[in-house]
Amino acid sequence: MSDVPPADGSETAPQAPRAELRVVVVSPDRVAYDGPAQAVIAPGAQGMITILLHHAPMLTMLEPGELSLRHGDLTHYFAVGGGHLEVVDDLVTVLVDSVERPEEIDVAEAEAACEQARTMLARYRSRPAEAALTLRRAQSRLRVSKRGQAGPSA
C-alpha cells in the first residue's frame, strides 16, 4: 500500500479489520437475518460447512437442513429449504428457497410431514431421492423447532 494520498485530494481513513462476519439470510419473501456472527454452520451439498472470519471466497449449494449462526454466547437457528451460500470479504450471503425460525414452525405439521415422507419413501421406491429430500426437510424443521430462537451455544 502506498503512502501517497488519493489524486482527488481526499483523505481515506484506514479501515479496521472486521471482528466478525456479516450474515444475510434471504428467502424469496423476506430477509430472515441481517447481522453479525462469529460462525455460520450450514447444510452443504457435501456435508456441513462452517464459515469463520476471513474464510476464503466461495459459492456453494445448500441442502435442506439446519442453519445456525453463532454470535457471542447465543446461537440463532433456522430451518432452510436448500439454496446457495456465498462468502466474499467476511460477508456471508445465504439465499434459500425457504427459511423458518424455531417459533415459526408448527410442530404438529412438521411431525405429520415426517410421517408422510416416511410413507412416501416406503411406497414410492421409483422416486427415493425426492422422498428422502422431503423427509430431510421435515426432520430439520422438527430439530429446529425444538432448539428455540436464540439459545446458548452448545
| Average pLDDT of span 97-109 | 91
| pLDDT, tens digit, 9 for 90 and up, residues 79-89 | 999 899 999 99
Q: What percent of the chain has pLDDT over 90?
A: 53
pLDDT of res. 79 = 95
pLDDT band at 18 (very low <50, low <70, confident <90, very high): low
pLDDT of res. 2 = 45
The alpha carbon dihedral of 144, 147, 151, 154 has a sign of negative
Question: Which of 30, 31, 48 has its CA nearest to residue 40?
Answer: 48
Query: Looking at the predicted structure, is the pLDDT value of residue 107 above 90?
Result: no
**Model pTM score:** 0.77
- Note whether 20 and 92 are within 8 A (CB): no
Average pLDDT of the residues of the chain: 85
